[in-house]
Structure 1
Amino acid sequence: MTVHPSLQPYVDAWTHSIEAISELVVPLTEGEWNRATPCPGWSVRDVVSHIIGIETEMLGDPRPIHTLPRDLRHVVDEFTRYMEVQVDVRRHHTAPEMTSELEYTVIRRSRQLRNEKRDPSTMVRGPLGDQVTLELATRLRAFDVWIHEQDLRTALGVPGNLDSPGAHVARDLLLAGLPKVVAKEAGAPAGSAVVLDVHGPLEFMRTVRVDAEGRGTMDGTPSLGPAVTLVMDWETYVRLAAGRVRPHAVADRVKTEGDEELADAILRHFAVTP
């Protein structure tokens, strides 16, 4: 157990998801590693490569020196270029090479997390080399591996763990971006409220309220007269908020009530992950 209780839920969630990923990929045939996932441009191999790469960076390993091909359509900005290096450098690795590196990386990272002595407020390296607190970095890793676990499950046709510890971390992180989506991106009018009602393995209701200055805040109390109510299942919410699917592709799984134009604008900007 880590020294700091505030880190433990994220370590537990990370451990649960990373072990699930290992169990999913160990028995795969070479061809199954090439299956497309909902993560744009990435195969099963690519998703696992990304996980290995980021975890090794958290361990302090140097990033590979590697030049990306110019024909990768999903690489569109500095963030995607940064993330793609760890992926492309492993693109021709065999199944045994992938599973061996994943296993070794998980062992090293598990040991690092188990022996963590730093204060949660310690600044550490985050995405793109920026500095974030250790607590946020650990939380983001728990979120990332759960989201990618779901990518792999979708690609391999093995659903599961939609209510695991990582799912709860993902719920809170994805919801944190909802006020900006409603108030800024979709332009909900001042004084309005938007209700999100999610059912399934994780059930919750949240209301985003837009104040007179156009700022959005969120709470768990219902609104008596919301401008828009969005009703969907948990899996659909995750896929939309994580940018894994376009709204039109899941229109039959999303029920909207109220201002149709505003509802469409919210759904167009619903993705909150990079």
Structure 2
Amino acid sequence: MTRAGLAAARSSTAQLAEIIPQVDDGQWELPSACAGWRVIDVLAHLAALATEAVDPPPPDPTLPKNRERYHDLRVDQRRGLAHIDVLDEWRHSTPRQLDLLAAAQEPPEADEPVEVPGLGTYPRHLLANTMAFNVFCHLRNDLLAPDGPLPLTLPEPTGDQVAPAIDFMLAGLPQMQGAELTATVRHPLVLDLTGPGATTVTVHPATDPDGQLTVTPGADAPTRVHSTALAFIAWATTRSPWRDHCRITGDPAVATPFLDHLDII
């Protein structure tokens, strides 16, 4: 199971809880590094995710199918709230979300497939990695300097925090963009991610016209994309240009179309 994902979710959540009391009213209104969202809106997003995890809303076919637009909608619904109300929702729902994720590590529920609309289908236990990714990415990339507006510091990220986030990203990579991304991979290519959270995987083309990319452990292709795992979280979510962080060895024409289109949500 992904108990490491649960530990990472708890760790990054605890660090976010340490940051919150240091943010003043003016800083909550600053633009975050997540386009269109203020600092308080990032917390509203995390609060909305936690609330929906513990109290799922009924299906609504009128809601946006695009996951990013869906997140925007949930944030917009909270824009009129006072800062304290947003923070209270986050503080109320997040511990309950973590409890649910802990329960999801136990069989037989752990391996049940769960559809996350707009993002794909995952074993239930991997949802802990989803939270680990969300909290880590928003905290480190969108809120804190140097990319975010908050001049506050935390200890350097550890591999125990980064690796579960990377695991979710690699699980989502074949699913989130569907045929658009699949079409960019004609030959296998390697992602060689170093530093905290280091891993090496090979992205393989789909084997049939309606198939998906597959991601396997290890290096099984001559063309390689080299990056740190920390930078991967930034550029694979299009927060930062991949060219600022990646070095390609082998045939650039194999890797470049994939890198130009990759956008993990």
Q: 1:222 to 1:41 in 2, by over 3 A?
A: same
Contact 1:183-1:216 within 8 A present in 2 as well? no
Establish whether residue 270 from structure 1 lines up as the match of residue 262 from structure 2: yes
Give TM-score, length-normalised by structure 1: 0.72
Count of aligned residue pairs for this structure pair:
250
Structure 1 270/162 Cα, relative in aligned 2: closer, same or farther at 3 Å?
farther
2:131 maps to which of 141, 166, 172? 141
* In structure 2, distance between residues paired with 1:49 and 1:187: 36
Distance 1:77 1:109, change over 3 A: closer
Paired amino acid for 2:23? L
Residue 18 (structure 1) aligned to one of 6, 13, 38: 13
Alignment of 1:67-78 (within 5 A): 78=66
Number of the residue aligned with 1:105: 93
How far apart are the structure 2 equivalents of 1:114 and 1:184? 33
Post-superposition shift, 1:14?
Answer: 1.7
Q: For the residues of structure 2 that align with 1:202 and 1:114, how far apart are their CA atoms? A: 22
Deviation per residue, 1:142-196 (Å, 9 max, x gap): 33222222232341243655325342111112223556899823232xxx44222
CA shift, 1:61, in A, is 6.0
Secondary structure of residue in 2 paired with 1:120: helix
Q: In structure 2, what is the equivalent of residue 48 of structure 1?
A: 43
Note the C-alpha offset of 1:229.
2.2
Matched, 1:261 2:259: no
Structure 1 residues 134 and 255: CA distance shift in structure 2, 3 A: closer
CA distance in 2, matches of 1:266, 1:78: 21
The residue that corresponds to 1:3 in the other structure is none
8 A contact 1:231–1:255 mirrored in 2 = yes
Structure 2 CA distance for partners of 1:235 and 1:185, relative to 1, 3 Å = farther
Matched, 1:165 2:160: yes
How far residue 235 of structure 1 moved from its aligned partner, in angstroms, is 2.3
Q: Which runs of 5+ in 1 are unaligned?
A: 1-5, 69-75
Q: Which amino acid aligns with 1:147?
A: C
Percent identity (aligned): 24
Q: Which residue of 2 aligns with 1:218?
A: 216
Deviations 1:199-239 (A, max 9, x none): 2223333333458768655331354xx1x322222222111
Q: Quick check: which has more Rg, 1 or 2?
A: 1
- Determine if contact 2:193/2:228 at 8 Å carries over to the other structure: yes
Q: Are residues 1:32 and 2:20 paired?
A: no
TM-score for both structures, normalised by structure 2: 0.74
| Secondary structure class of the residue paired with 1:197 | strand
Are residues 1:233 and 2:234 paired?
no
Identify if the C-alpha distance between structure 1 residues 125 and 202 changes in structure 2 by more than 3 Å, giving closer, same or farther.
closer
1:267 to partner: Cα distance = 1.4
CA contact (8 A) 1:242 1:271 kept: yes
CA RMSD in angstroms, aligned pairs only: 3.8
Q: 2:182 aligns with which of 174, 181, 184?
A: 184
Q: Is the 8 A contact 1:183 1:210 kept in 2?
A: no
Q: Write the distance in 1 (CA, Å) between the matches of 2:41 and 2:13.
A: 15
Q: Could you say if the C-alpha distance between residues 209 and 34 of structure 1 is closer, same or farther in structure 2, counting changes exceeding 3 Å?
A: same
